[in-house]
């Protein structure tokens, strides 16, 4: 199982390396299609203004850009803050559904797309930051590659603790896996905080139909729908100009809840190869934990087995994540990799189970 895991991680490094770096010449690009930037927001009064400041400061031609914010039953001042940006081209839609659904975010995005006039839909989150060249670079790459769907990098920043720095390293690994899958021609995951797709493709795929009963999955599960027919039209933009920055979770409880939500999407995977990959990784980590227990119980015949397996795991993960840390300019995080590699095995075993049973909290709601 160690050999299989090592092979998989190195295969993913191959996928990352196959994606060419993109350095746009934005000034020379002529934008041809209108773009709609969508954000679903719930109780984001502490973050939404900074995100909107980033939005309205983009160097993208204003005549080809619209910003739509969907307020998802906020009980704070989120809607009032968004409304204050109306004279800067920001549109506000307010959901009025009450507590009757399980997937409010998918409903919010669907409503925004129905109201949008752009040919290209770009989604991000209400607690994100991006540079002024973000949108122009995303759309330039989108148009030059004739993509149907474009995933772009998301990075944690402004960490306030060692725990948050560990999350940054682990999140870089996850973003890298999504990019590597696309690089290998087998898209498996993406992040809705930095995602773009054609509006007509959204409707051609039936929107969120078939995945709308799950609270999460507006990004990854929709990617799977597109990949079933058009995997070769899904791209990843490897450019520092398109990085979207967000924050790690300050508490362990918040981190676990977020990862349970992400893991819950696996119940809807229709591609059995993705399921098999996830199960294989989970079983490897379970076996590694069993070996670790034997190691600490001082069973000499298993010492070498555990040390070799863990050593190969760290080496393979280092080979994969080093170029990602270099891309994000966060090489100093690599010193924490051995510790994270072991802790990650523990939490992955728990999340693999907890993410597929029971309910979890998201935006002050109890959802499946």
Residue 138 is predicted with a pLDDT of: 94
Residue 27 is predicted with a pLDDT of: 47
C-alpha torsion 96→98→102→108, nearest 10: 10
What element of type H or E holds 155? strand 154-156
d(CA 147, CA 59): 22
* Mean pLDDT for the stretch of residues 58-77: 93
C-alpha torsion 10→13→14→20, nearest 10: -170
**What is the C-alpha radius of gyration for the chain, rounded to an integer number of angstroms?**
21
Ranges of H-type helices in the chain: 2-18, 48-56, 78-83, 104-115, 134-144, 162-183, 199-204, 220-230, 252-264, 272-296, 303-328, 337-354
User: At residue 362, does pLDDT exceed 60?
Assistant: no
Structure tokens, 30: 């002529």
User: At residue 94, does pLDDT exceed 70?
Assistant: yes
Residues 6+ apart with CB under 8 A from 362: 215, 216, 257, 261
Q: What structural domains and CATH numbers belong to the chain? A: 2-9+272-356 (no CATH), 20-260 (3.90.550.10)
126-174 residue pLDDT tens: 999 999 999 999 999 998 899 999 999 999 998 999 999 999 999 999 9
User: At residue 302, does pLDDT exceed 70?
Assistant: no
> What single-letter DSSP state applies at residue 20?
P
User: In which band, very low, low, confident or very high, does the pLDDT at 306 lie, cut at 50, 70 and 90?
Assistant: confident
Provide the greatest CA pair distance for the chain. 71
Residue 288 is predicted with a pLDDT of: 79
């Amino acid at each position: 199982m160690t050999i299989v895991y090592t092979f998989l991680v190195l295969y993913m490094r191959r996928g990352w390396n196959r994606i060419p770096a993109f350095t746009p010449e934005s000034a020379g690009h002529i934008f041809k299609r209108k773009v709609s930037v969508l954000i679903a927001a719930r109780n984001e009064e502490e973050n939404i203004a900074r995100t909107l400041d980033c939005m309205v400061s983009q160097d993208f031609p204003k005549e080809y850009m619209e910003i739509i914010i969907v307020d998802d039953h906020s009980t704070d001042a989120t809607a009032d803050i968004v409304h204050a940006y109306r004279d800067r081209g920001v549109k506000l839609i307010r959901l009025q559904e009450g507590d009757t659904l399980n997937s409010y975010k998918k409903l919010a995005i669907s409503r925004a797309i129905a109201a949008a006039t752009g040919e290209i839909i770009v989604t991000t989150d209400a607690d994100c930051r991006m540079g002024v060249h973000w949108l122009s670079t995303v759309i330039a790459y989108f148009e030059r590659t004739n993509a149907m769907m474009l995933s772009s990098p998301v990075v944690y920043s402004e960490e306030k603790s060692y725990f948050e720095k560990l999350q940054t390293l682990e999140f870089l690994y996850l973003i890298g896996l999504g990019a590597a899958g696309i690089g290998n021609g087998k898209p498996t995951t993406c992040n809705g905080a930095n995602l773009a797709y054609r509006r007509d493709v959204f409707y051609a795929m039936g929107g969120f139909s078939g995945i709308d009963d799950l609270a999460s999955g507006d990004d990854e599960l929709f990617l799977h729908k597109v990949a079933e027919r058009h995997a070769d039209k899904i791209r990843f933009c490897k450019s520092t100009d398109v990085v979207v920055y967000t924050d790690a979770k300050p508490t362990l409880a918040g981190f676990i809840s977020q990862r349970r939500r992400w893991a819950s999407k696996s119940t809807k995977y229709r591609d059995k190869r993705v399921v098999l990959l996830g199960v294989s990784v989970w079983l490897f980590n379970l076996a590694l934990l069993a070996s670790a227990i034997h190691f600490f119980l001082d069973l000499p015949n298993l010492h070498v087995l555990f040390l070799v397996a863990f050593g190969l795991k760290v080496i393979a993960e280092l080979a994969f994540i080093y170029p990602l840390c270099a891309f994000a300019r966060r090489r100093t995080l690599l010193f924490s990799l051995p510790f994270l590699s072991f802790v990650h095995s523990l939490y992955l075993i728990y999340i693999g189970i907890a993410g597929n049973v029971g309910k979890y909290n998201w935006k002050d709601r109890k959802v499946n």
